[in-house]
């Protein structure tokens, strides 16, 4: 094991995959100087401008070029800087990359990875703070990944680069500096497999991305009150690991889904509905979901915090779910 940050883990994944496979390359704005967060630092010097390619300031151009390159045999890593900016390239991703395999009868695949930094980060305000995962989980043909730890950012990014379908890869900006242990060697985390971050008997909390860490804080607080919460980090949102979630809810009888994105039409609703439909006879309390209110994210920290799903909010919801029926 070696210590590394979440950001450096992603950089290592790109470097190792480019060393392993000559068809892997990256394109985006300012990659030559390391990328907006430094996640490509030194890679252009290592691999050259042909494989770490700087592009015009046009998300549609970047995505369109990557889709064509993927269709003709390469494996592009598409850097979108912010998930908010990637909305300028939705047509190329959703109408072309996601549908090509189906529309060409399986004769063509589009093996690309779209890196989209997500989430609230240092008063970045309404146009740089969104979590838009549910936009992509809605689209047939896309794989959606949301790593929460340095080890997962290494292993999931490597798995995504090797995937033969287009992957929307959502890294949380607030985790760039997080440190953790990285395995040595070729560490690959399978897509579609959740991580049980903490085991428990009383309540299942399902989450992903940066909310993993808030949920673990909440679970620690609940444990001091005698409530043992099981925390599941999905890691991959599509396909999501139903087996692990179902097994946990069958054990605990309670499900709380927590995510940073707006609650309305958020991916938590898909998990809540699926579990409620399949396991309603096992539930001891109604399924609960937590998400941000349907408001733009403000610049001012005090207003920004009103949109945050915090460990305190998770703890309060879990306490309510543990109360006997009829007690409010």
The residues assigned a catalytic role are 128
Q: Is 133 helix (H, G, I), strand (E, B) or coil?
A: helix
Q: How many CA atoms lie within 13 A of 133 on its CB side?
A: 35
- Number of C-alpha atoms within 13 angstroms, CB side, residue 238? 19
Pair of tokens at residue 89: 């390239």
How many whole angstroms separate alpha carbon 181 and alpha carbon 37?
A: 21
Give φ, ψ of 276 to 5 degrees. Answer: -60, -40
Question: What is the phi-psi region of residue 165: left when phi exceeds 0, alpha when psi lies from -120 to 50, beta otherwise?
Answer: beta
Residue 196's beta-bridge partner residues?
232
What distance in Å separates the CA atoms of residue 36 and residue 124, rounded to the nearest whole number? 14
Q: How far apart, in whole angstroms, are the C-alpha atoms of residue 124 and residue 304?
A: 9
Smallest CA-to-CA distance from 149 within 189, 209, 198 is with 209
Q: Give the span between the Cα atoms of 17 and 14, in whole angstroms.
A: 5
Query: Which residues is 144 bridged to in the sheet?
Result: 168, 238
d(CA 3, CA 203): 32
Please count the residues of the chain. 328
């Amino acid at each position: 094991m070696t210590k590394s940050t979440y950001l450096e883990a992603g950089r290592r994944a790109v470097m190792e995959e480019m060393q392993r496979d000559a068809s892997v390359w990256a394109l985006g704005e300012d990659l030559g100087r390391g990328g907006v967060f430094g996640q490509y630092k030194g890679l252009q010097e290592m691999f050259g401008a042909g494989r770490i390619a700087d592009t015009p300031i046009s998300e549609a151009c970047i995505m369109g070029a990557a889709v064509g390159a993927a269709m003709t045999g390469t494996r592009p890593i598409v850097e979108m800087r912010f998930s908010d900016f990637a909305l300028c390239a939705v047509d190329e991703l959703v109408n072309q990359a996601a549908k090509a395999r189906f529309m060409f009868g399986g004769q063509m695949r589009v093996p690309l990875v779209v890196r989209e930094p997500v989430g609230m980060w240092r008063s970045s305000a309404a146009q740089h703070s969104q979590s838009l995962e549910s936009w992509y989980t809605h689209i047939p043909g896309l794989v959606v990944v949301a790593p929460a730890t340095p080890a997962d950012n290494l292993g999931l990014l490597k798995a995504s680069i090797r995937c033969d379908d287009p992957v929307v890869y959502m890294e949380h900006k607030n985790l760039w500096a997080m440190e953790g242990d990285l395995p040595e060697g070729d560490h690959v985390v399978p897509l579609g497999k959740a991580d049980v971050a903490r085991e428990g008997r009383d309540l299942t909390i399902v989450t992903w991305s940066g909310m993993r860490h808030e949920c673990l804080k909440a679970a620690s607080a609940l444990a001091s009150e005698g409530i043992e919460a099981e925390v599941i980090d999905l890691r991959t949102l599509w396909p999501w690991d139903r087996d692990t979630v179902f097994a946990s809810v069958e054990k605990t009888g309670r499900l709380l889904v927590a995510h940073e994105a707006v609650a309305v039409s958020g991916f938590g609703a898909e998990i809540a509905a699926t579990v409620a439909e399949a396991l309603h006879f096992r539930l001891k309390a109604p399924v609960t979901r937590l998400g941000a209110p349907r408001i733009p994210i403000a610049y001012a920290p005090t207003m920004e915090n009103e949109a945050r799903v915090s460990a305190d909010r998770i703890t309060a919801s879990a306490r309510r779910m543990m109360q006997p029926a009829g007690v409010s």
